[in-house]
Chain A
Amino acid sequence: MKLNLSTLTVSDALAHMASGDFKSIDLVEALGAAIAVRDGELGAYVSVDLAGARAEAEAADRARAAGKAGRLCGIPIAIKDVLNVRGQPCTCASKILDGYVAPYDATAIARLRAEGAVFLGRTNMDEFAMGGSTENSAIKRTRNPRALDRVPGGSSGGSAAAVAGGLALAALGTDTGGSIRQPAAFCGCVGLKPSYGRVSRYGLTAFASSLDQIGPMTRTVRDAALLQEVLSGADPMDATCVETPVPPYAAQLTEDLRGMTLGVPAEYVVEGMDPAVAQAVQHAVERCRDLGARIVEVKLPHTMFAIATYYIIGTAEASANLARFDGVRYGLRATGATDPLDMYKRTRAAGFGPEVKRRIILGTYVLSSGYHDAYYLKAQKVRTLIRRDFEQAFASCDALLTPCTPTPAFRMGEKTQDPLQMYLGDIFTVTANLAGICGLSVPCGVAPGGLPIGLQILGPAMKEENILRVGHAYEVARGDQWLG
């Protein structure tokens, strides 16, 4: 049987390259061909660096031949365009970073590079990771590979579309309120949002510093575990990155769930939820029970405040984080300005899209003198309550099972005129970011029309091994039935 190189899993590709079936350069050529055929339609990538990828693949092949293969030697990975890769543009899908070339590698990139990964190209996203459909990209539209009239989700929509569409073996995404898990659910791939502090954020263009995390987007849970092992670990360049030892996630995977207690939160059922989603998640819960897990109901009583809390804290931090884009040192600088203030106004008016402006204004407002206590401070208090909800739930279970999104992927343009509806779609994912815990999205079914549905598995902070184990056992039991 002829292998389709562009749809392999990372672990299969590593095994094949280890036994000499093909080389990294073959993977790069196969993916390059797939991108040439299909990315015009999908729009997953904002830029592809085939020449660079070929050079890296050849270096990886030489390293492997010399017996010096790293843990991801020769694996082509797509990178969300919000991460700094030395010598490459990093647009954040914004016009304001026009012309910017990163002078350094993000720590996550450096770690992948050190293990021999090959950087194929940069994926599309919502501008500055603000959005849930990738429609806020100032660069291009990205389509859902399972249904071309649907959005791929967001903000890591390009990464999800690349992995699900056979245009990369794996990708990096970032998740501030669900931006890895939701597009993974919409496109039918696996997405892991690590615990806050598990992966260094150094080199990730910040949206909301206390919520952002970098994580893998892959075809299988095992692949996510492989990448996560490489990404995890303390970094002197990120003071919020913790020292907790990194377990061998992939080696600890099991095919049963005996001895595990899984919680099902009563609050994760909302009005307007697609019945197919509720049903698929219910089936997944039953399957986990069959695998030996004990299923218990848990309460997360402050869930209803999560969206408001998230949009206050996230926008407050964003309003400061995005202040640096002013035309002084890099990126776009508007012409015709008469003084510095005028230059800022013109540059930012021309460089930022409407959603980014909306969030900067919201964030500026909630931090303003006179409103700070009523919004920002109150939101911080609610955040503490949400964190406590999870601490209490995790006192009696190892992980939680929830839907990842209330509905499958929606149509392109369906919600662009209604930001509030777009925000409400984040209901099941924002809590993990507010609480700093880890979350995994694994495909668990399809809605009518073949639209993928994601099961979200939430775990305690720094317990990625728990959710990876649940996800892997479930995935093996589920089989390949809905995968494209």
Chain B
Amino acid sequence: MNYRIDIGLEVHVQLKTRSKMFCGCEVRVGAEPNTLVCPVCLGYPGAMPSMNGEAVRLTVRTGLMIGSTIDGFSKFDRKSYFYPDMPKNYQISQYDRPLCDGGAVLIGDGGVAKTVRIRRIHLEEDVAKNTHFAAASGVDFNRAGTPLMEIVTQPDMHSPEEAFAFLLALKQILQYADVSHCNLEEGNIRCDVNCSVRPEGQEALGTKTEHKNLNTFKGVLNALKVESERQIAVLNRGGKILQETRRWDADTGETAAMRSKEDAHDYRYFPEPDLMPVVLAPAEIEAWRAALPEMPAVRRARLVRDYGIPDYDAGVLVADKAVGDYFEAAAKLAPNAKLVSNWMMTEMLRLLGETERDIRTVPITPAALAALVCLTESRTINSNTAKDIFAELFEQGGDPEAIVRQRGLGQVSDASAIGMIVDEAIAENIKVFDDYRNGKVAAAKFIIGQVMKKSKGKADPQLVMKLLDARVAGG
């Protein structure tokens, strides 16, 4: 029997704010445990939350990016459950009036576009981090209270690959909106994954299972592959899927039952009495809408139009907002945008990949790349020299023109200077020159090679060829 897979995601995104959701503590990774804390984010007796307006703005901004409805009235609720990473043993979250309703994210690369509908986006506070030692466990509350945006999709993804593509597209939008650092290693994006399968043609969704807190996109992909295959195998055996929470073990590549539906929490939501509802004026929402950045798909089309680069190149360049920004900055300064794009598509992305670096932190500036393109375009340097200089700039930065000048790397285009070298080479290899004159085309290569050697690679090869031919013609 053929099965259809239905996947829905809950994506938790840490927002890029200076302070926490409900107190003034700094949001920062890597500080000593329990140093970025106060009575509020530690859940001390008598402490009360004060709302971070910037977190509300960033959440609404995300909603506006994906076409959510923002009706301007929202409220917070308490979600109760006991766990040592929860300072108050309830989380301030949003139950029935999230900040953003609906919306959609487009996935698929160029060819088959597909829409994943978004159910809602709400705002809540992150929990602390537990660390387990040999004889005890420790709780670090530095993370507790970090603004956390939860994006809930409809079950619109029908393969693990689609879920993966959705996450890439969503991350791209979040980067474009500049609402999160989107650093997966630091847990900025974490997913709860819901998956069910049903026989092809069946209307109703199958019984779903959930995997919580997956913090890599590859993990989501692999867990979904294993889980959907497991569910299909169970049904094929005539078994039943149990509604449960399962744990994904990335090391063994297996999923295992963790908690059944019967053990599920009753969160006992009720309106947070310590906070007033969030009321946003239409003018404020409109001002935020007016300040939205370009969506990646729109930018891709614009790069093709404005810079005359192929659609494929544009797609690669906009995939990472910072790469796109870098390209545009360099292209504006260079005489030939296509050449800039070529450098980005080849050397830049190759080196970024090899060194696992972020384009925002590499020493080579967009201006330096543009200058390098100028030097090749004017044929001041040849392409091998340019590649060497690029590699050096990538590591150390600097001004390509200065490097060329200081080291005398400039291509020699002075006909009289090169003419002298050509004459020297002919004199030393008169027999080869005669072969060439008698029609042995390959012989020219040897002469040119000799000229390049004598000029230490600086001679313009095309000029050398021209001068050689002049000697043949001139007798």
- Which of A's residues lie within 8 Å of B, judged by CB? 83-84, 90, 92, 97, 100, 102-104, 106, 201-206, 208-210, 236-240, 316-317, 319-320, 323-324, 326, 328-330, 340-341, 344, 364, 367-369, 372, 376
* B270 at interface by CB-CB < 8 Å: yes
* B296 at interface by CB-CB < 8 Å: no
Does A367 contact B270, Cβ atoms closer than 8 Å?
A: yes
Q: Which of B233-277 contact A (CB under 8 A)?
A: 266, 268-270, 273-276
Q: A316-B270, A367-B268 are in contact. Are A236 and B84 (CB under 8 A)?
A: no
Bound Cα distance A92, B78 (Å): 23
Does B84 contact A328, Cβ atoms closer than 8 Å?
A: yes
Bound Cα distance A340, B44 (Å): 19
Bound Cα distance A316, B273 (Å): 11
* B187 at interface by CB-CB < 8 Å: no
Bound Cα distance A208, B276 (Å): 16
Select B45's contact among A90, A210, A340, A364, beta carbons within 8 Å: A90
Bound Cα distance A5, B461 (Å): 107
Expressed in whole angstroms, the minimum distance between the Cβ of B308 and any Cβ of chain A is 54
In this complex, what residue of A is CB-closest to B268? A367
Contact partners of B269 in chain A: CB under 8 A: 367
Contact partners of B84 in chain A: CB under 8 A: 326, 328, 340
Does A323 contact B82, Cβ atoms closer than 8 Å?
A: yes
Does A326 contact B82, Cβ atoms closer than 8 Å?
A: yes
Contact partners of B39 in chain A: CB under 8 A: 84, 103-104
Q: Which of B19-65 contact A (CB under 8 A)?
A: 39, 42-51
Does B46 contact A239, Cβ atoms closer than 8 Å?
A: no
Bound Cα distance A329, B43 (Å): 9
Q: A103-B39, A239-B276, A240-B276 are in contact. Are A320 and B78 (CB under 8 A)?
A: yes
Q: A92-B45, A323-B88 are in contact. Are A364 and B51 (CB under 8 A)?
A: no
Does B82 contact A84, Cβ atoms closer than 8 Å?
A: no
Q: Mark B80-99, 1 if CB is under 8 A from A, else 0.
A: 10111001111000000000
Expressed in whole angstroms, the minimum distance between the Cβ of B39 and any Cβ of chain A is 5
* B139 at interface by CB-CB < 8 Å: yes
Q: A238-B48, A239-B48 are in contact. Are A340 and B276 (CB under 8 A)?
A: no
Apart from A84-B44, A326-B84, A368-B266, what 10 extra A-B contacts exist at CB < 8 Å? A84-B39, A102-B46, A202-B47, A206-B46, A240-B273, A320-B268, A324-B43, A324-B87, A326-B82, A329-B43
Does B48 contact A84, Cβ atoms closer than 8 Å?
A: no
Expressed in whole angstroms, the minimum distance between the Cβ of A4 and any Cβ of chain B is 35
Expressed in whole angstroms, the minimum distance between the Cβ of A77 and any Cβ of chain B is 18
Expressed in whole angstroms, the minimum distance between the Cβ of B53 and any Cβ of chain A is 12
Contact partners of A83 in chain B: CB under 8 A: 46
Interface core residue of B47, B83, B266 (most chain A CB under 10 Å): B47
Does B88 contact A239, Cβ atoms closer than 8 Å?
A: no
Bound Cα distance A364, B83 (Å): 17
Select B273's contact among A103, A317, A372, beta carbons within 8 Å: A317
Bound Cα distance A316, B275 (Å): 16
Contact partners of B268 in chain A: CB under 8 A: 319-320, 364, 367-369, 372
Does B46 contact A106, Cβ atoms closer than 8 Å?
A: yes
Expressed in whole angstroms, the minimum distance between the Cβ of A300 and any Cβ of chain B is 24
Q: A320-B78, A341-B82, A369-B266 are in contact. Are A84 and B89 (CB under 8 A)?
A: no
The list of the 5 closest CB pairs from A to B, nearest first, reads A323-B89, A209-B273, A367-B268, A210-B273, A205-B45
Does A239 contact B47, Cβ atoms closer than 8 Å?
A: no
In this complex, what residue of A is CB-closest to B274? A209
Contact partners of A238 in chain B: CB under 8 A: 48, 50, 274
Select A324's contact among B45, B270, B273, beta carbons within 8 Å: B45
